[in-house]
Structure 1
Amino acid sequence: MTHNKFLLSIASIISLSFLFTCASAQTNEKQEWEKDNNSKSKAEQSYGSGDDVEWGSTDVAYAMTATNLMDMKVIDQTGKKIGEIDDLILSTKEKVAYAIISVGGFLGVGDKLVSIPFQDIEIRKAKKEAVINLSKQELEKMPEFKSESVESRNYQAEDVPAMDATERLTRGGTEDYAINAKKLFDVDIIDKNSKKVGEVDDLLLSQDGKVVYGIVDVGGMLGMGKKSVAVPFHHLTANRTEERILLNVTKEQLEKAPEFKFRNKD
């Protein structure tokens, strides 16, 4: 009898130990799940809600648009064409950090892409041209720009060593690299419920290259009946892994926002 009670006690201890281990494992799994879920939530959280978005109106101040800069011819100091602006690199501080210039080749074949600091480019809007203090030969000798995923870069503007204009121009690079402007165009904008609410049509830039507004197209079908809305750029959150943009407003809120109209697409 005593022997049976002893065996029963051992069995009870083993059972309790097993249950405790399972409960502990479930608690750890729950904590890990909540941690992952919270991380995902933070990663996909946009910078505001529809209630505090200061929509831009038709007369919103801006100096130029991103699409007008793209394909703009690039000339040297003598006025000779040496390339074209192919894309813009936006920094983590919501400014155009670099212009990606296409040089060489013929009809888009055999050309080379190089990055030039935006601050070293003179934009002449009236003539639709960009001026840099480099020759075509110097551009062709520069390191080739290759698009890299943002996740593999960890640059911050304050970590970049000081350089004079000549060194910046000849060195190239993509310090403080956040995302290519082209990647933002025609990418779905979704709300917090993962419903599509629009697409980015263009970016409005200040004179010093700061991205002030994203122009969002909402509504319509096949390009007909759509409405453009100027959304403060900091309210748009790019999710690069899934190639979508997050905006914490509903489609109805976008449709009720003031309509934006370009000034002759300048």
Structure 2
Amino acid sequence: MAIGGTAVTPGSGAVAIEETAQLIAASKVAGTPVYNREGEHLGTIEDVMLDKRSGQVAYAILAFGGFLGIGERYHPLPWSVLEYDLSLGGYRVDLDRDRLEGAPSFAASEAPDWTDRAWGQRVYDYYGAQPYWLQVP
């Protein structure tokens, strides 16, 4: 059987972790660089948060700031504000560093309440994006 352009033998235990022009495995998104419109490197995607019921990507978690992992903050970005740029091999966002520094974020030692819709609404409002829970799939 072929998955994503890779042959996989049923029952072999092998999983094709590939990407196509339209699809990418979540495991490949982590570590992908993020740039602003000017091509300045802002950080990397740390993880993605998926809505269990709808299957929609709720947030891409951007690791930003700090030095050698110290002082790094995590910024939940609405997936809709990311645009993949083949020439950069990463995502572009229409944000500058100052705007990103003022964005909703959390430290590694903090745990945001992902179930708090008011918090989620503030994140989406900050970026001027429509919340994923209001989007028609």
Q: Give the CA deviation at 1:149.
A: 6.3
Say whether the 8 Å CA contact 2:30–2:46 is kept in structure 1.
yes
2:3 maps to which residue? 59
Matched AA of 2:71: G
- C-alpha separation in 2, matches of 1:90 and 1:101: 15
Q: What is the CA distance between 1:60 and its match in structure 2?
A: 5.0
Equivalent pairs counted in the alignment come to: 110
Match in the other structure for 2:43: 83
Q: How far did residue 126 of structure 1 move? A: 5.4
Tell me by how many angstroms 1:65 deviates: 1.4
Give the structure 2 partner of residue 143 of structure 1: 104
What is aligned with 2:9?
none
1:148 deviates by 4.2
Q: Does the residue aligned with 2:39 lie in a helix, a strand or coil?
A: coil
1:107 equivalenced with 2:68 (yes/no): yes
Moved over 6 A (4+): none
Q: Which has the higher contact order (CA 8 A, sep 6+)?
A: 1
Higher helix share: 1
The 8 Å contact of residues 56 and 132 in structure 2, kept in 1 or not, is answered as no
In structure 2, the residue matched to 1:169 is 127
Q: Once superposed, what is the RMSD of the aligned Cα atoms?
A: 3.3
Which residue does the alignment assign to 1:132? 93
TM-score (norm 2): 0.64
Unpaired runs of at least 5, structure 1: 1-56, 177-209, 211-266
1:120 matched to 2:64? The reply is no
Give the partner amino acid of 2:69: G
Q: Name the TM-score, length of structure 1 as normaliser.
A: 0.35
Within a 5 Å distance, the mapping from 1:28-43 to structure 2 comes to none
Quote the Cα distance in structure 2 between the aligned partners of 1:79 and 1:148: 30
- The alpha-carbon deviation at position 75 of structure 1 amounts to 0.5
